[in-house]
Amino acid sequence: MPVFRKKRSVQRLEERRTIGLDDKIVELIVSKSSVRRSSIRISVLPGQIVKVDVPLRTPDREISSLLARRGAWIVKKLCEYASQPQPAPLFYLPEEMHLYLGQNHPLRILARKQGRGLGQARLENEEVLVCLNFPEYDPALPEHAVQIKKIMRKWYSDQAMKYYSDFFNVKIRHIDWLSKAPDFSLRSLSRRWASCSAAGKLVVNRHLIKAPPECVAYVLLHEICHLRELNHSFRFYQLLTDLDPDWKQHRTLLTDLARQIVNE
């Protein structure tokens, strides 16, 4: 019979700083949490930001010492990000390519005045078909592009809700310690793909549905593991490796594609 432990409330503190590394001024986010961690973790995020996750009571001198020791690696990663090409801006025009589950699909736009609302979108013959609720479509009108973007956002959200719900329902049958599908919601997250609260509620980045399926699975499985281990301890990574043996490759691919995925 499983034993359930009462979860304690989690304390989190986040502070932004700037530091100097190898003649570079680097933006730093220090995230302190009462969630039990086995070590300090340094991440280099898109946007030339360095994030440090540490236990709540870690002294600043220990953080500074680790940053100094890892300075060369941090600068190398920042340079790698800076050298990556920026994705072209999206204008929501016919034949423009849009990502969905790792694949690019051309945009096709139809105008058809019918009822109320903005219109709708669907995947049809490998195209994203957007039906505008207008008598006619004029690509030169900025307001039409704005409406198409809103329709696309809703379509992505609808697809994500269904895809993730189906994913969790399948995993219930294959993960013996997962008794029910977790509650989740979509949100715009600037520095992470998903999160899990102490109450077991998941929040998933609304852009994640554009990533390849193996990367989506990695993120969702990562959060599923937090339902059992709300930390990044050795036990957590054991669970994750059991569920996704290639998670490191999937994480690397997701990081490499991040700029394209969040582009809109």
**pLDDT, average across residues 172-185:** 94
At 185-234, the pLDDT tens digits run: 999 987 789 999 999 999 999 999 999 999 999 999 999 999 999 988 89
The rounded distance, in Å, linking the Cα atoms of 245 and 249 is 9
pTM: 0.77
Under a CB-based contact definition with an 8 Å cutoff, are residues 188 and 142 in contact? no
At 23-60, the pLDDT tens digits run: 778 888 888 877 655 567 888 876 678 888 888 888 88
pLDDT greater than 60 at residue 4: no
**For the chain, what percent of residues have pLDDT higher than 70?**
93
pLDDT greater than 60 at residue 125: yes
Start and end residues for every CATH 3.30.2010.10 domain found in the chain: 165-262
The rounded distance, in Å, linking the Cα atoms of 231 and 169 is 24
Pairwise pLDDT comparison (104 vs 77), residue with the higher score: 104
State how far the alpha carbon of 206 is from the alpha carbons of 10, 26, 118, 135, in Å: 24, 27, 20, 31
Tokens of 222: 């990562």
Choosing among 3.40.50.300, 3.30.10.20, 3.90.1150.10, 3.30.2010.10, the CATH entry for 165-262 is 3.30.2010.10
Give the residue from 160, 174, 235, 234 showing the smallest Cα distance to 202.
160
With 0-12 / 13-18 / 19 or more C-beta atoms within 10 angstroms meaning exposed / middle / buried, residue 113 is: exposed
